[in-house]
Chain A
């Protein structure tokens, strides 16, 4: 990519100035330019949700977001979520079987973060409707989210 512009973005609380093509996918910017490989690519077409990150607090498919669109925004990835002990959702996903192969897990957790405490089953299902998991059949993910404290 020869065309580059400087995009300023706050990733996981740290301001970064990145010289990237303005149409480079945010997913690739995070993985290649920021070294944050916790965000995964499952389909590249905005269907599977494995690349879910928070853009100014809202879950988005980072494979559909051009770098220029993220300029000036706050981006939160799975790496920016927990401290040393991890976010309550992360601990619950380990404890209650929410993660199997793990490839959908970072995106799933990022989509679940915005549900807030004690979501209903209906709220969880609607909130995760854009995130595919092929391992769990979702039940263990619901259990993890409902038991996260």
Chain B
């Protein structure tokens, strides 16, 4: 369909939830009143490893409800992938802040005043993923013959790169309210995945499908932090509500949210790369270790995505990637926008600038030589189609930012007090669940005809990214009705089918596509009738469709070979910064990015995703440092866990390119996660340009001070080791 004929798609229509959000009318979980409510609180372990030896309730228990693992009617697990994480610890403690006991009271002050003493038998904790003996998951990707690849190399470049934890820091903390009703339980709350919560509650409470209802309330940000953790909180609140037979509110304050909930996995990534003198990669050998924390959560799939993206958007015939996610005694790490790819692509892109140095090429040239082109294959052997845009985004970003001139100009400021640097990163991001994941999910979407148009029923949640608006645009366009004639149901498991989780940049590309098929079917059924005429003549019309695998898409989970993702988005970031040589403070001066996303259904929302994700990425690169002491986050508050404020965030320029994906709605690919892949390596590469050899993020002033000043002599030290 030619672009000029589109009436809803591609236009910046007013977002469905806009007015309620700017007037304060939108209802988040803490804004909703429930009668006869109890407040609940979680008693957590204070040691990282050991066993519970005794629990003492040192308060007058009148009016309190106390719940421990013996109150669980079903299985004591938070059902997800490995079923290893208890809802409430029975004896074994594997991390600080592990939930042990739940208390509830109708008076919040009395609840907070209650003192619980827990006796422990402490055991030796391990916080080093490389010394851990328990792997949650190992991944091996092999392509070609790695030894043959190294034999062809003129130069071998090695390096080790490290990333710390990162806190999602949604501004609304996690919270739910559980209401016992109809012989079962209803949970309202802030979440990304109502059906994850639904399943966890069924397993914990031993209830059938229809006795559990989960309703997403307006959600104040997620970024992955509300992918799996809300299942835990919902389980806790539901246990108390079931025992007390009253509604129970469980909302974390900021400190508890930061201490107890999941974070981005820290990573150690080692590269060994064979390169020809002209910059061509002959062998790519990567070893990636993720710190999973104390329980498996989503570590297996985070590692999978991280490993598949580890070689970056580059072609090479001989690739070996090894990844492992290891258990340690810190609170479990989990989903965070990017899901393993920001860590591995940070390493790949920081390494690529060192390859450029080692071969005497400039950072643009070495990427031009190696960037994936249509027809090339990725590390898993996926042959890329015409929607591969690595070179286009690179060239557009270089041109837009006048990169080469600034590179020469800033080089003259090295070793001055306000040294400037400019660096870039090239990256890609697969949309949708990895490999056979979408086939297994078999997501559904429903469209219901209404008198004025249609109502969307999906479990995809609005968490700020614009789900309701973007889905309504797709339906309006496909059905041929105005945008305003499309309504969107709340993500309530009693009303919507399981559309899969709202994660993995899949809500537009995957769920949007299913909705498009529903709308096309509805349009065909309507024929020449208006919705009102159809309803009068034929009665209700409800269409449900399920995910269909794109033709020719193949994946083998055993060998990790095949089409890892339906499609990839492509991005190139350019960062300009200044380093104060007295304070070692880094000031980002300008940020520009080119993103190729297939089709921007709502350009302003897409740009909003890219600007927001990029700001989070700049925080990851420079500011956001989780300090762990004996397995406990020592800076679990906003006073000293620093996220970018307006004054820390540089001017941002976003350029959208559209190279349509045949199986995305109107050509759209995923966009939510990709923006966070690029900023950290672009920052570190700009720091390298300014004279600082930094290989660990966040690049704090302390780390900058310690980093050895880069000298010309490193240029020809090909066999450099860490």
Contacts and interface: CB of A to CB of B under 8 A. Distances in A.
Q: Which of A42, A96, A101, A104 has the most CB of B within 10 A?
A: A101
A29 to B, nearest CB: 14
Contacts of B608: 97, 100, 135-136, 140
A102 B169 contact: no
B660 interface: no
A56 interface: no
Contact of B14 (A47, A89, A95): A95
Nearest to B642: A47
A7 B31 CA distance: 23
Interface residues of B, number: 56
A86 B221 contact: no
Interface string B15-34: 10111111111111011000
B464 A129 contact: no
A148 to B, nearest CB: 11
A1 B109 CA distance: 7
A45 B637 contact: yes
A135 B24 contact: no
A102 B464 contact: yes
Contacts of A45: 254, 637-639
Q: Which of B218, B223, B605, B638 has the most CB of A within 10 A?
A: B638
B14 A94 contact: yes
Q: Which of A39, A47, A102, A139 has the most CB of B within 10 A?
A: A102
A106 interface: yes
B652 interface: yes
A136 B611 contact: yes
Contacts, number: 170
Nearest to A143: B604
B253 interface: yes
A101 B23 contact: no
Contacts of B220: 40, 42, 101-104
Contacts of B269: none
A42 B22 contact: no
B19 A94 contact: yes
Contacts of B223: 134
A139 B605 CA distance: 12
A97 B605 contact: yes
Given A50-B171, A124-B646, A129-B647, A82 B466 contact: no
A97 B606 CA distance: 10
A135 B645 contact: no
A104 B171 contact: yes
A132 B35 CA distance: 33
A112 to B, nearest CB: 11
Given A40-B220, A47-B639, A99 B22 contact: yes
A62 interface: no
Contacts of B222: 101
A100 B24 contact: no
Interface string A76-94: 0111011000100111011
A59 B456 CA distance: 40
Nearest to A36: B24
Contact of B604 (A38, A97, A103, A106): A97
Q: How large is the interface on A (under 10, 10 to 19, 20 to 34, 35 or more residues)?
A: 35 or more
B170 interface: yes
Given A1-B109, A124-B646, A128-B646, A135 B612 contact: yes
A91 B14 CA distance: 10
A48 B171 contact: yes
Contacts of A128: 645-646
B638 A99 contact: no
Interface in A31-62: 31, 36-45, 47-48, 50
Given A100-B608, A129-B647, A138-B649, A105 B22 contact: yes
Contact of B611 (A94, A104, A130, A137): A137
B607 interface: yes
B521 interface: no
Contacts of A97: 12, 15, 604-605, 607-608
B379 interface: no
A124 to B, nearest CB: 7
B659 interface: no
Q: Which of A36, A81, A103 has the most CB of B within 10 A?
A: A103
B614 interface: yes
A102 to B, nearest CB: 3
Contact of B21 (A1, A89, A105, A141): A105
Interface of B: 12, 14-15, 17-28, 30-31, 109, 168-173, 218-223, 253-254, 463-466, 604-605, 607-608, 611-616, 637-639, 643-647, 649, 652
15 contacts: A37-B24, A42-B171, A42-B254, A43-B254, A44-B254, A45-B637, A81-B23, A97-B608, A102-B17, A102-B26, A103-B170, A106-B22, A129-B646, A134-B612, A141-B646
Interface of A: 1, 31, 36-45, 47-48, 50, 77-79, 81-82, 86, 89-91, 93-106, 109, 124-126, 128-141
